[in-house]
Amino acid sequence: MGKMTNKIAVVTGGARGIGQEICRVFLREGARKVYSIDMNIGEEQHEQLEHVVLNVLERNDIERFIGKLAELNLPIDVLVNNAGITRDGLIHNISSEMWDQVIDVNLKGVFQMTQAIAPMMMNQGQGSIINISSIVGLYGNIGQTNYAATKSGVIGMTYTWAKEFTRKGAYVRTNAIAPGFIHTEMLDSVPEKVLQPIRERTPLGRLGKPADIANAALFLASDDSSFVNGHVLSVDGGLRL
Ligand code: NAD
């Protein structure tokens, strides 16, 4: 029996990168259904995988999607708030637009998805919410004022929900993952001269792989972590040390 047997999961940003790998790992572990929520349709194909084209900023579309699941009586066991963007620059180069875009997707998107799904989980009496933060949200990073603000904010929401969604006996756990630098298309804009020192500073001597984060998400989604709540799990090869 897989660690996700009978579980239904919603993964935002599931079309590529870390989100795609999380979908794969959940399916490999026997998930009953995985919904990949993304602006794009991913290439991954699986009988139990459904690609839903949806912008996490579009509240009406989120409500329509959740309404459809409620009609079908499909309970959501796991929500992974993974969709995120960067618009990097030193602070004097960050325009209002760059600030707003990152704040919107990385904070408001997480807020809206969770606001729509958490009440269902609380009614069911159980669930697991996993927020993808970043090492940058814990320690900051030059050129990422906007991104760091959002990834720290995600940790604040994680701690809040770990308290709020466990009221009245509901067993809805909320945790975060703080990845280090993970080899995905998000890093395409980061020059090699920046990445090489990161490899050198990482005790494990490499960048992360999407599977490193997906395996951590599997732990937090599954019953293996049934007493883990309000935790930020660093998956960074020791880079933070
Ligand atoms: P990615 O850019 O490869 O994939 C992000 C996905 O999110 C894309 O498929 C994109 O279409 C989707 N997306 C973006 N905006 C969306 C929206 N408004 N609505 C729905 N979907 C949207 O990124 P990744 O590297 O896989 O990163 C995934 C998460 O991990 C992000 O939250 C990122 O901040 C975080 N993270 C990444 C790294 C890294 O080094 N790659 C490190 C730390 C944290």
Binding site membership of 187 for ligand 1 (Cβ less than 6 Å): yes
Binding site membership of 103 for ligand 1 (Cβ less than 6 Å): no
ipTM > 0.85 (yes/no): yes
pTM over 0.95: yes
pLDDT at 188: 87
Beta strand segments in 112-241, E: 126-132, 171-179, 232-235
Domains present along the chain, CATH in parentheses:
8-235 (3.40.50.720)
Q: pLDDT tens for residues 81-135?
A: 999 999 999 999 999 999 999 999 999 999 999 999 999 999 999 999 999 999 9
Let me know: does 113 contact 174? Beta carbons within 8 Å.
no
Looking only at the bridges linking them, the beta strands covering 171-179 and 78-81 are unpaired
Ligand 1 pocket mutation, candidates 10, 11, 18, criterion most atoms within 8 A of CB: 18
pLDDT at 62: 98
pLDDT at 189: 83
pLDDT at 1: 86
All residue ranges of the chain with pLDDT < 70 are: none
| CA torsion, ordered 72, 76, 80, 86, to nearest 10 deg | 40
Bridge partners of residue 131, in order along the sequence:
81, 176
